[in-house]
Amino acid sequence: MKQISAIIDQLDVILSENFPDTAGLRQFSYVLVGQPETDMLEWLNAQSCYPKFYWQQRDEHEEVALCSSARTFGHLSAAQAFLQQYPQLTELRIWGLNAFHGADAMVAENIASEANTLFLPRIEISRRDNQYTLLCHLYSTDSLRDEARQMRIFLRSLVKSRPLPVLTAEVLQHQHLPTEPQWKQMIHTALTCIEQGQFDKVVLARKTTLTLRQPLNAAAFLAASRAVNHHCYHFMLAFTAQKAFLGSSPERLFLRESHALFTEALAGTVAGTIDNRKAQELGQWLLKDAKNQRENMLVVDDICQRLQGGTHSLDVTSAEILRLRKVQHLRRSIHAVLTYVDDADCLQRLQPTAAVAGLPRQAARDFIAQHEPFNRQWYAGSAGYISLARSEFAVALRSAAVNGSQLDLFAGAGIVAGSDAAQEWLEIENKAAGLRTLLDGNAQSVENDLSDENYAPAVRAG
């Protein structure tokens, strides 16, 4: 990426100075002039340091590439406490993933070690609109002098960008968990519980494991998704050269700007199509369908109830259609004014929402823990960042876990009274297809059929 090598040379000179043999945090900031020569995801993929994190906001105004960690955090509250030690650095950001269970103050012992993966990066390259910035964070709990030496070694390991490899993936076999018969039985059990009044809604998920002929490059896979799955957050956390978690999610968990909080209810689904007339017909049906409207309003009511006590006011918009490549969703946006700024509290209140767990939340989660035959880990958790000034997380949907030549795809469906097991199976097939079809070698032809105009929110109620 243009100018990176020159900035690294400047940093090397600065880091060779005599830093104190004490704990501390130093931030070095550089503005990159002009348009970078290469894609940020390409630059990130070329680096051999881990962890590596990529994130693009769904309106594409903001994009980041991060590599190596100056400090890691096991919970958002710990990250928040760290930021509060540096009130002068209001834009200092901590990035990463919160697991599906990771918003809990108390987490089961067997999943606690992987509940959250949050870190302060050593190097952060960001784009906000057309302005590019490079940040370097030097942090140590005992000696900035020693850390400066290590940082110089690390900076010399950074290499120039190179094109992403061609996405090639031959699927040798696939396995659904649960299988379709198991899914139907699970839906039957859930509907019985709903009829008995144990809960109103539960969101059940499926993991599809694909065995590939050769290891999959996670960055190339995400780049293919980014090219065709518009109006989505795109994120990837690479733990090693073989292991990564990534996704292209349409749903915001929350955006906080000072005391203003923005969240949404994304629930209610119908199939998507590239035929604009047919898509509008399906969208109008979705806006009028009682079952999907009920599912969406359950999520709205739950979010509003959970935010009570921490907000001055709440406003909810009318329903609109969010049109994506493979599906269309009902969406209502929610704006609140917080009585106090506490991102860990926002996460606790909002994650998981009824759109990914159910309602009442604890009863639904108990059902998921008892009946889903796999651990969700980061699926249906959240991906993003916190800072003192602004924080934003996407719900980790339409996501996948890469482990060498094994690829796990995740998708879920909301089960309410009146749900049909066969229709819900078709819904998760459509959701998983947003990533699955990228392996078929026709992503470019799909991209040529799509445009931002075609895949923007298309229909609003009222």
Going from N- to C-terminal start, the domains of the chain cover 4-157, 171-449
pLDDT on residue 115:
54
**Alpha-carbon torsion, ordered 346, 347, 348, 349, to 10 deg:** 50
Phi, psi at 340, each rounded to 5°: -155, 155
Q: Comparing C-alpha atoms, which of 61, 2, 57 is closest to residue 33?
A: 2
- pLDDT at position 287: 95
pLDDT at site 104: 54
Model pLDDT, residue 442: 45
CATH topology of domain 171-449: Anthranilate synthase (3.60.120)
User: Is residue 336 a contact partner of residue 261, using CB atoms and an 8 Å limit?
Assistant: yes
Count Cβ atoms below 10 Å from residue 17 Cβ, excluding itself: 8
Closest CA relative to residue 186, chosen from 203, 198, 199: 203
Is 251 among the catalytic positions? yes
- pLDDT given at position 30: 94
What's the pLDDT score for residue 151?
97
Taking the complete model, does pTM exceed 0.75, yes or no? yes
Angle at CA 63, nearest 5°, toward 32 and 456?
135
Catalytic: which of 201, 207, 326, 431?
A: 201
Q: What is the pLDDT of residue 332?
A: 96
How many CB atoms sit inside 10 A of residue 165's CB?
11
Interatomic CA distance for residues 296 and 271, integer angstroms: 16
Q: Check: CB of residue 40 under 8 Å from CB of residue 65.
A: yes
pLDDT recorded at residue 460 = 44
How far is residue 146's CA from residue 140's CA, in Å, rounded to a whole number?
8
429 assigned to a ligand binding site = no
* Alpha carbons 100 and 77: distance in angstroms, whole number: 16
From first to last of its 462 residues, the chain has per-residue pLDDT tens of: 568 888 999 999 999 999 999 999 999 999 988 776 679 999 999 999 999 999 999 999 999 999 999 999 999 999 999 999 999 999 999 999 999 986 554 333 333 344 569 999 999 999 998 899 999 999 999 999 999 999 999 999 999 999 999 998 899 999 999 999 999 999 999 999 999 999 999 999 999 999 999 999 999 999 999 999 999 999 999 999 999 999 999 999 999 999 999 999 998 889 888 889 999 999 999 999 998 998 899 889 999 999 999 999 999 999 999 998 888 999 999 999 999 999 999 999 999 988 899 999 999 999 999 999 999 999 999 999 999 999 999 999 999 999 999 999 999 998 989 899 999 999 899 889 889 999 986 444 344 333 333 334 444 443
From 251, 264, 392, 424, active-site residue: 251
pLDDT for 64: 98
Q: What single-letter amino acid sits at 295?
A: E
Contact of 201 with 418, CB cutoff 8 Å = no
Let me know if 201 is a catalytic residue: yes
295 is in an annotated binding site: yes
